[in-house]
Amino acid sequence: MGPHSDSQHLEMDRCSEPAFQRHTGPGGVQVSSCECCVPAPFLPDARDPRSPVKQLRPGWPAHPEPCQNFEQVLGTGTGCHPPVFQPGFKMLSLKLPRLLNMEQVPQVFHEQGILFGYRHPQSSATACLLSLFQMTNETLNIWTHLLPFWFFSWRFVSTLQATDILNDSYSWPLLVYMGASCLFPLASSCAHTFSSMSRNARHICYFLDYGAVNLFSLGCAIAYSAYVFPDTLVGTTFHDYYLTLAVLNTIVSIWLSCYSRFFEIQKPGLCKMLRVLAFAFPYTWDSLPILFRVFLFPGESAENEATLYHQKHMAMTLLASFFYSAHLPERLAPGRFDYIGHSHQLFHVCVILATHMQMEAILLDKTLRKEWLLAHCRPLLFAQIAGAILLCLIFSLSNIVYFSSALYRIPEPELHKKET
């Protein structure tokens, strides 16, 4: 965070008895600068109660005369006034917060192989939102999920409009899946946006992110159960209990993924392993029908154009897992990929492409197999779908609340101390 962030301003000493130096400012305007707060941008009407300075920072000391020093404001970061727009002067308001290097932020914010581009670890919510438009090491993490959120939302709304929701129960699983596919990129981009507000906020942001990923995982299981199961397994005991176990998986997964954050500093290897396991296990369970379909029962009526999309989806997911766990390429060249091209961005892109292919596959299966499935498969009831989602929501939110409150119970040094 830069010299003019809210949080830094709060920490700065306020001016008391400024000594003024009169000089000529931009455009020949007579201005003054005070020794104690140079380089502070200052409004000529700062003593006016409507002054933007006072509106931005109530109680901020007003100077008897305006001071101005644009160059130093940009460079030194020692100013004590919030940046404001001054008609007729240079556009001070466009200054962006200064970014920090790895050593300037607490260890809990460190990303392997990323040396620069960190936001202030106590950014305000406004500063976090503004960081969407400043190149930081999180900016592309945010946009690589924010734009797909709008794309998936558009597809979801289009499908909703084309569906007779009340009467077409065959489409309900698809709608649940598409709704969940909007939720997880939104939660992820919000987590990346607001994760620099504080240490605990960072953890809570990612708890919510994991909750949304789990809900998406359940959405996949609901859609797979309805449209993707191979002919041979439709109506079997495995099919009957597939969704129940998917719900149980989400409960274990959310617990494990949240719990893993408590080892982030002390045991990063264990943390990574637990988290990968937390996501890999439900994903593997969800994908069993596809694995059976591709490897055990090829050539059935389920063999259609969707199969190729299912295969592409799985290949892309494997690639995403590789980037997530390997921290490549930034691990090989620390500092080179701080802003563009680091593994988390590549992971996000692969996840979105995988979801897009998965959605195409499910849509194709739903259309091409409709006749066969309606004749041979008992459709999921509303109570089954709603019950599964409700259970997942209740357990996920309980876990998130439990682990969030644990953050405040555990003393910070314990949570963030590196094991020696």
- The nearer residue to Zn ion, 233 or 320, going by C-beta atoms, is 320
Helix axes 306-326, 343-368, angle to 10 degrees: 160
Type of residue numbered 107: Q
Q: How far is the CB of 262 from Zn ion (least distance, A)?
A: 19
Q: How far is the CB of 141 from Zn ion (least distance, A)?
A: 5
- The nearer residue to Zn ion, 7 or 325, going by C-beta atoms, is 325
Total residues contacting Zn ion (rule CB under 5 A)?
Answer: 1
Sign of CA dihedral 184, 188, 191, 194: negative
Q: How far is the CB of 79 from Zn ion (least distance, A)?
A: 34
Residue with the shortest CB distance to Zn ion: 188
322-381 residues in contact with Zn ion (CB under 5 A) are none
- The nearer residue to Zn ion, 184 or 263, going by C-beta atoms, is 184
- The nearer residue to Zn ion, 188 or 321, going by C-beta atoms, is 188
- The nearer residue to Zn ion, 139 or 188, going by C-beta atoms, is 188
- The nearer residue to Zn ion, 212 or 392, going by C-beta atoms, is 212
Q: How far is the CB of 330 from Zn ion (least distance, A)?
A: 14
Q: How far is the CB of 70 from Zn ion (least distance, A)?
A: 38
Q: Which of 414, 403, 106 is nearest to 260 (CA)?
A: 403
Length of the chain: 420
Question: Would you list the DSSP string of 386-418?
Answer: HHHHHHHHHHHHHHHHHHHHHHHHS-HHHHHPP
Q: How far is the CB of 412 from Zn ion (least distance, A)?
A: 24
- The nearer residue to Zn ion, 283 or 292, going by C-beta atoms, is 283
Binding mask 132-171 for Zn ion (x = CB under 5 A): ----------------------------------------
Q: How far is the CB of 206 from Zn ion (least distance, A)?
A: 8
- The nearer residue to Zn ion, 113 or 230, going by C-beta atoms, is 113
Question: Would you list the DSSP string of 255-320?
Answer: HHHHHHGGGTTT-HHHHHHHHHHHHHHHHHHHHHHHHIIIIISTTSTT-STHHHHHHHHHHHHHHH
Q: How far is the CB of 285 from Zn ion (least distance, A)?
A: 22
User: For residues 73 and 3, what is the distance between their CA atoms, to the nearest angstrom?
Assistant: 8
DSSP letter at 254? H
DSSP letter at 228? I
Ramachandran quadrant class, 199 (left: phi over 0; alpha: psi -120 to 50; beta: rest): alpha
176-205 residues in contact with Zn ion (CB under 5 A) are 188
Range 354-384 burial, b when 16+ CB lie within 10 A, else e: bbbbbbbbbbbbbebbeeebeeebeebeeeb
For the record, the structure tokens of 260 come out as 């893993």
235-274 residues in contact with Zn ion (CB under 5 A) are none
**Binding residues vs Zn ion (CB under 5 A):** 188
